[in-house]
Chains A and B, each alone.
Chain A
């Protein structure tokens, strides 16, 4: 691995923030950086299995542009990043509890498990943190 590990704290479910998190995670992973994404707060519902395919991503005019220009789907980018590099996704255990979600209620094949913020922050001491 080259470069500092990248830790992305994704709180927002807004389309552009989820998209940027997925872009950073995928570019980081294929550039041979270890990447971990901690999905919390409103961002978690974007990853719910029950989220409708149309309308999974919430947002305003820029979200509409992202859809119109058919930029790569954020969840698809994360899947590719997992295949091609060292990417881990964690579901915030607090956000799971608040939303009444279980791990099997999240989309398949992306998450490595539930995690607490204390552990994530502790791990992130050795790397670079980005909050979205």
Chain B
């Protein structure tokens, strides 16, 4: 299955994390979710979110004002 994309650009804390959680719940284990956000707090937020939930933060990058996270759902 292709990586799903979740666009939460423009959304305030804590909505990016809530939306990501909802999207990950609907994914089969092992599949990946790409999250696009503009909240500067999202970088540390997604690191913490993945650490506490056991999902893997495969990649974290920034392009201009858009932060991109690649998250693999825990098995």
Residue ranges of A at the interface with B (Cβ–Cβ < 8 Å): 2-3, 23, 26-27, 30-33, 69, 71-72, 77, 80-81, 83-85
Contacts and interface: CB of A to CB of B under 8 A. Distances in A.
B13 A30 contact: no
B54 A26 contact: no
Nearest to B11: A72
Contacts of A30: 14, 17-18, 21, 49, 53
A45 B17 CA distance: 29
B11 to A, nearest CB: 8
Nearest to A2: B52
A33 B12 contact: no
A43 B36 CA distance: 35
B52 A33 contact: yes
A17 to B, nearest CB: 16
Interface residues of B, number: 14
Nearest to A71: B12
Contact of A32 (B13, B15, B22, B52): B52
Given A2-B53, A71-B12, A72-B12, A31 B48 contact: yes
B25 interface: yes
Interface string B39-56: 000000000110011100
29 contacts: A2-B53, A2-B54, A23-B13, A23-B14, A26-B14, A27-B17, A27-B18, A30-B14, A30-B17, A30-B49, A30-B53, A31-B17, A31-B48, A31-B49, A31-B52, A31-B53, A32-B52, A32-B54, A33-B52, A71-B12, A72-B12, A72-B14, A72-B15, A83-B22, A84-B18, A84-B21, A84-B22, A84-B25, A85-B21
